[in-house]
């Protein structure tokens, strides 16, 4: 009989992370996962920013079990269900600004695709501006707006009408300037990108509040305020990708709240339902209503079990004040990590918000990326 690893190699079409030893996980609880041999590991990734309230959170499991006894599936675009309606109401209450109407899907990439389509339908425009070093998913449109050639390799040509703005990456400034004397040249460059790199038909600017796969890049204070003012001048929508940053990880329920701006659309997934498949994008009412009946559908989107789990998950986040905990614990952790920077020249920069923290390793004063060293530490 084949082992699980052998079955994966023979029958599962998947791209595992290169050089990572396959581990067969049998069970998980809280921050720990346990393999089939009984060896336990601390899941520092939280299932890649998914289980923010812990693996197999009992409150979430109870809500899912109760819903499974009543209704597992009904197409959300054919029938209504109470958990879906209740979750949409809750999301309108906890998201910033005037965001009100939610469309539910299954994955982050699916939700980003839907948000892009809604932005097009509302504005009647077809172009998008995104950030260099960004990541928005692995589907066709989401890769088109991803500013990372490594993620896009062997998949092109991609969707036309996508252009990129230098990332607010102060440690490696595209313009070789220094914050704050730079006066946020990276944000002001948006005017030039719109003027020279588009045909003046931009529907939306899309950005992660903290760039996750790009290296936990944290925009400086005032960055999004300046971006917002330029977008309003050109009547361009702001789409915020909170797929990885959402649900208390950064010390706020949503990371964009650190910057005091109001998005026109906000996309969420990963941490929304503590491991149950669910994603969503929420928009202001007048924007959401650009979708007419039948325009955009998702067979499993708004699944009642996933929505019930999400409601319990959000309730747990609020009851346990996990955003506040992430903020306080993040401050302690950042202080400890900065001590490492003083001790080890390999540590180039430590950055993040809350408990979403990155450490950039460099070999020398020229900031040469320490790729081999990073791989050795990971292994």
Sign of the Cα pseudo-torsion (18, 23, 29, 30, in order): negative
**Chosen CATH of 59-319 out of 3.40.50.80, 3.40.640.10, 3.90.1150.10, 3.10.180.10:** 3.40.640.10
> Structure pTM?
0.96
pLDDT in tens, 67-76: 999 999 998 7
> In the predicted model, what is the mean pLDDT of residues 260-276?
98
Query: Confidence class of residue 107 from pLDDT cuts 50, 70 and 90?
Result: very high
Residues 6+ apart with CB under 8 A from 262: 96, 97, 98, 228, 238
pLDDT in tens, 334-352: 999 999 888 999 999 999 9
b/e sequence 119-143, b meaning 16+ C-beta within 10 Å: bbbbbebebbbbbbbbbbbeeebbb
Q: Are strands 237-241 and 265-268 parallel, antiparallel or unpaired?
A: parallel
Q: Are strands 202-207 and 237-241 parallel, antiparallel or unpaired?
A: parallel
Q: Are 91 and 281 in contact (CB under 8 A)?
A: no
Identify the pLDDT of residue 16: 66
pLDDT in tens, 173-202: 999 999 999 999 999 999 999 999 999 999
| 216 pLDDT more than 80 | yes
Numbered ranges of CATH 3.40.640.10 in the chain: 59-319
Tokens representing 316 are 């747990």
Query: Confidence class of residue 78 from pLDDT cuts 50, 70 and 90?
Result: confident
Identify the pLDDT of residue 316: 99
Identify the pLDDT of residue 215: 95
């Amino acid at each position: 009989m084949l082992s699980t690893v052998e079955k994966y190699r023979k029958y599962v079409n998947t791209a595992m992370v290169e050089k990572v030893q396959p581990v067969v996980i049998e069970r998980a609880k809280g921050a720990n996962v346990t393999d089939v041999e009984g060896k336990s590991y601390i899941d520092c990734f939280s299932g890649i920013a998914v289980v923010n309230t812990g693996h197999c959170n009992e409150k979430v499991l109870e809500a899912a079990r109760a819903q499974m006894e009543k209704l597992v599936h009904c197409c959300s675009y054919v029938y209504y269900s109470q958990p879906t309606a209740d979750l949409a109401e809750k999301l309108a209450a906890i998201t910033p600004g005037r965001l009100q109407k939610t469309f539910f899907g299954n994955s982050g990439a699916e939700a980003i695709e839907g948000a892009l389509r809604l932005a097009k339908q509302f504005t009647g425009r077809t172009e998008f501006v995104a950030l260099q070093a960004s990541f928005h998913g692995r589907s066709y449109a989401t890769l088109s707006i991803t500013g990372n050639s490594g993620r896009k390799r062997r998949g092109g040509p991609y969707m036309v009408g996508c252009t990129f703005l230098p990332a607010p990456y102060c440690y490696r400034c595209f313009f070789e300037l220094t914050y704050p004397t730079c006066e946020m040249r990276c944000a002001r460059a948006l005017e030039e990108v719109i003027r020279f790199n588009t045909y003046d038909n931009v529907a939306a600017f899309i950005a992660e509040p903290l760039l996750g796969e790009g290296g936990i890049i944290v925009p400086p204070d005032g960055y999004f305020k300046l971006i917002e003012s330029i977008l309003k001048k050109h009547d361009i929508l702001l789409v915020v990708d909170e797929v990885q940053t959402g649900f208390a990880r950064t010390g706020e329920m949503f990371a964009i709240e650190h910057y005091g701006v109001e998005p026109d659309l906000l996309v969420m997934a990963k941490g929304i339902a503590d491991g149950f498949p669910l994603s969503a994008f929420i928009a202001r009412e007048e924007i959401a209503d650009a979708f007419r009946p039948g325009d955009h559908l998702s067979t499993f989107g708004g699944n009642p079990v996933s929505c019930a789990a999400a409601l319990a998950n959000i309730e747990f986040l609020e009851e346990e004040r996990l955003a506040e905990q992430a903020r306080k614990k993040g401050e302690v952790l950042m202080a400890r990590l900065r001590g490492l920077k003083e001790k080890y020249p390999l540590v180039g920069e430590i950055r993040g918000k809350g408990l979403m923290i990155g450490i950039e390793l460099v070999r020398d004063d020229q900031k040469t990326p320490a790729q081999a060293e990073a791989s050795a530490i990971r292994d």
